[in-house]
Amino acid sequence: MSTTSKTVAAVDLGASSGRVMVGRVGPDSLALEKAHRFANVPVRVGSTLHWDILSLYSGVLEGLRAADHLDSIGIDSWSVDYGLLDSDGQLIGNPVHYRDARTEGVAEKVWATIPVRQLYAATGIQYAPFNTVYQLVAAQGSAQLAAASQLLLIPDLIAYGLTGIAGTELTNASTTQLIDPHTCDWASSIAAELGIDLGLFPPLRRPGDPAGTVLPEVLEQAGLRGVVPVTAVGSHDTSAVVAVPAGEAERFAYICTGTWSLAGVELDAPVLSEAGRVANFTNELGIDGTVRYLRNIMGLWLLQECMREWDWDPHDVGPLLRDAADVPALRSVVDASDPVFLAPGRMAERIADACRATGQPVPVSLGEFTRCILDSLALAHRRAIVEVQTLADHPVDVVHLVGGGARNALLCQLTADACGLPVVAGPAEAAALGNVLVQARSLGLVGDRAAMRSLVARAQPLTRYEPSGDSAAWRGAAERIARQ
């Protein structure tokens, strides 16, 4: 193992913002600093909601300019969405946003060909209306898809822009609902039955694999020198799970919080039971042949959307949390996973409507709305953590909450109270740290997953929250949600 420190860049693209983080890593050191943060603002053209991929790519280049010397670059982002390239390798339009309405009703069309139970048994991926498989069926017959020679998932599309080399990172590809979790290869029979051409996808690569070197013209644009490799990382939320600071013998669950909350456990094999399908748990591939068995929960999206409507500074949530802390616990709660909250716009109105429809007090003040959202999110965390232990036969003694929500002390405490388990919060920059650690391992600086997690635990500040409050009240609130 190398004893020399290296400098790497983690390009971390989230649903509301992107950033380039610089990691400095040695065998016993791990430091992370922000080089550049930039907005991720979707654009609606006509009736279609798009990602502004060129703006994101420009933000990446600006971040790399701020980073200066680099030994490697890794890219992670949200999953399921993609860009199409023509036969000249040029992008055919901006990628469509997963919150676009084009997939409405498509799932039922797919299930008429492949029953939903068969689809889950073959891929292990939970139902979400925006999964790539439904997006591709929705796009069938379109001029863009007909003109496409290649399809690149978002992190692979950014990597292609840097290197000119196309590939498909496996752990992110598993979210497409087109990967067999047993073979870790394409589910070719599923694709064939649905008329999906798997030849559009470039070859699969795994976390740690080389993804090309930065092109000379891109080096010049980014102000970089020398040969700079791009390394495939766990390019979905896999990166965040890599950075969960759990002990090797610890029986833990994780909650990766941000726009979405992903709550589950790390397993050695998929769980493809019918009970798991009905509970909407998913089997996403992780590094080193692991499976992230989890449920996707709407997450802080509800609060982010409300803050946007209130014209509230997204980086100044403190006053809202202080007001929310003064609101009686569990006064009003909604199902944070209800698809009614998926689309942007009118979020506070939809929350109020849900409370009114279930005979609960309707939030009026900003503090009441914030408390309703956080109580509801803690209940969604509770449900996922309770159910995953039974479905996976995997007892849990502690919950590690990582990602942006780790900075939200009220959410962390409410999650501990709701789950009745200790919550260890941090690191907040888990996705970027996991990205950095996979690159560091490819450079020979760190060892296995246990060594990675041990390094995070030593190098990053963590906060432990013990459960408190009325456990019976949380059980009662969970039952109220179940009846909604």
pLDDT digits (tens, 9 = 90+) for 206-224: 999 999 999 999 999 999 9
In a domain, 309, yes or no: yes
pLDDT value, residue 315: 87
In a domain, 449, yes or no: no
pLDDT value, residue 237: 75
Asked whether the beta carbons of 22 and 8 are under 8 A apart, the reply is: yes
pLDDT value, residue 252: 98
Q: Taking residues 274-295, what's their average pLDDT?
A: 96
CA–CA distance, 83 with 60 (Å, rounded to integer)? 17
Query: Could you write out the DSSP letters of every residue in 52-121?
Result: -HHHHHHHHHHHHHHH-S-SEEEEE--SS-EEEE-TTS-B-SPPBPTTSGGGTTHHHHHHHHS-HHHHHH
Largest CA distance in the chain: 64
Q: What is the CATH number of the domain that holds 177?
A: 3.30.420.40
Helix (H, G, I), strand (E, B) or coil at 8: strand
| 224 and 251, same domain (yes or no) | no
Angle 361-364-368 from CA coordinates, rounded to 5°? 75
- Position 2 pLDDT exceeds 70: no
Handedness of CA 379, 381, 385, 387 (dihedral sign): positive
pLDDT value, residue 370: 98
| 272 and 386, same domain (yes or no) | yes
| Band (16; pLDDT cuts 50, 70, 90) | confident
Tell me which residue of 433, 431, 422, 430 sits closest to 463, measured CA to CA.
422
In a domain, 441, yes or no: no
| Band (470; pLDDT cuts 50, 70, 90) | confident
Q: Taking residues 316-321, what's their average pLDDT?
A: 96
For the segment 232-280, what is each residue's pLDDT rounded down to a tens digit? 999 987 789 999 999 988 999 999 999 999 999 999 999 999 999 999 9
Dihedrals φ, ψ of 386, to 5°? -65, -50
In a domain, 400, yes or no: yes
Asked whether the beta carbons of 397 and 419 are under 8 A apart, the reply is: no
Q: Taking residues 413-440, what's their average pLDDT?
A: 97
pLDDT value, residue 226: 93
CA–CA distance, 68 with 310 (Å, rounded to integer)? 38
Domain closes at, from 199, 231, 263 = 231
Tell me which residue of 201, 179, 194 sits closest to 85, measured CA to CA.
201
Per the structure, how many domains does the chain have? Answer: 2
| 159 and 92, same domain (yes or no) | yes
Tell me which residue of 102, 93, 202 sits closest to 152, measured CA to CA.
202
pLDDT value, residue 82: 98
| Band (469; pLDDT cuts 50, 70, 90) | confident
In a domain, 467, yes or no: yes
The percentage of the chain sitting over the pLDDT mark of 70, rounded to a whole number, equals 99
CA–CA distance, 72 with 164 (Å, rounded to integer)? 16
Active site residue 326: no
- Position 408 pLDDT exceeds 90: yes
For the segment 141-197, what is each residue's pLDDT rounded down to a tens digit? 999 999 999 999 999 999 999 999 999 999 999 999 999 999 999 999 999 999 999
| 360 and 483, same domain (yes or no) | yes
| 398 and 321, same domain (yes or no) | yes
Look at the chain and count its residues: 484
In a domain, 457, yes or no: no
Handedness of CA 449, 454, 459, 460 (dihedral sign): positive
| 316 and 404, same domain (yes or no) | yes
Asked whether the beta carbons of 438 and 287 are under 8 A apart, the reply is: yes
Domain closes at, from 231, 261, 290 = 231
Angle 280-282-288 from CA coordinates, rounded to 5°? 165
Domain closes at, from 231, 247, 277 = 231
Catalytic site residue from 71, 76, 81, 237? 237
- Position 203 pLDDT exceeds 70: yes
| 225 and 306, same domain (yes or no) | no
| 124 and 20, same domain (yes or no) | yes
CA dihedral 165, 51, 435, 10 (to 10 degrees): 80
CA–CA distance, 237 with 285 (Å, rounded to integer)? 10
Of 198-202, 233-237, 386-390, the poorest mean pLDDT is in 233-237
| 157 and 253, same domain (yes or no) | no
pLDDT value, residue 3: 66
| Band (308; pLDDT cuts 50, 70, 90) | very high
> Average pLDDT over the chain, rounded to whole?
95
pLDDT value, residue 1: 61
In a domain, 453, yes or no: no
pLDDT value, residue 481: 85
Dihedrals φ, ψ of 265, to 5°? -135, 165
Residue with the larger pLDDT of the pair 153 and 483: 153
| 194 and 262, same domain (yes or no) | no
CA–CA distance, 402 with 299 (Å, rounded to integer)? 13
| Band (483; pLDDT cuts 50, 70, 90) | confident
pLDDT value, residue 4: 83
Query: Could you write out the DSSP letters of every residue in 254-290?
Result: EEEESSSEEEEEEESS----HHHHHTT-EEEE-GGG-
> What are the b/e assignments for 76-98, b being 16+ CB within 10 Å?
bbbbbbbbbbeeeeebbebbbbb
| 300 and 151, same domain (yes or no) | no
Residue 368 CB burial class (10 angstroms; 0-12, 13-18, ≥19): buried
Tell me which residue of 212, 227, 263, 217 sits closest to 405, measured CA to CA.
263
In whole angstroms, how far apart are CA 347 and each of 90, 128, 130, 323, 340?
37, 20, 19, 19, 9
> What are the b/e assignments for 252-271, b being 16+ CB within 10 Å?
bbbbbbbbbbbbbbbbeebb
Q: Which amino acid is at 390?
A: T
- Position 74 pLDDT exceeds 80: yes
- Position 47 pLDDT exceeds 90: yes
CA dihedral 70, 72, 76, 82 (to 10 degrees): 110
Structural domain boundaries, residue 142: 6-231
In a domain, 432, yes or no: no
| 51 and 196, same domain (yes or no) | yes
For the segment 94-128, what is each residue's pLDDT rounded down to a tens digit? 999 999 999 999 999 999 999 999 999 999 999 99
